[in-house]
Amino acid sequence: YPTTLKKMKWAPQGLERISEWKRRVAPIPLVAIGGLNPDRLDGVFEAGANSAAVVTDITLSFDPEARTREWIEKTDRWR
The predicted-structure confidence for 42-76, as pLDDT tens digits, reads as follows 999 999 999 999 999 999 999 999 999 999 999 99
Q: Which carries the bigger pLDDT value, residue 77 or residue 2?
A: 77
Q: What is the DSSP letter of 4?
A: S
- Provide the domain count of the chain: 1
Per-residue 3-state assignment (H helix, E strand, C coil) for 55-74: CHHHHCCCCHHHHHHHHHHH
Does residue 68 fall inside a structural domain? yes
Q: Does 42 reside within a domain?
A: yes
Domain of residue 63, residue span? 14-78
6 lies in some domain: no
Q: In sequence order, what are the residues at sequence separation of 6 or more whose Cβ sits closer than 8 angstroms to the Cβ of residue 8? A: 34
Q: pLDDT value at position 20?
A: 94
Does 6 score more than 80 pLDDT?
no
Residue 63, domain member (yes or no): yes
Query: What pLDDT score was predicted for residue 4?
Result: 67
For the chain, where are the alpha helices, taking DSSP H only?
14-25, 41-46, 56-59, 64-75
Alpha-carbon distance of 32 to 44, in angstroms, equals 7
* Confidence band, pLDDT 50/70/90 cuts, at residue 8: low
Q: Determine the pLDDT at residue 26.
A: 93
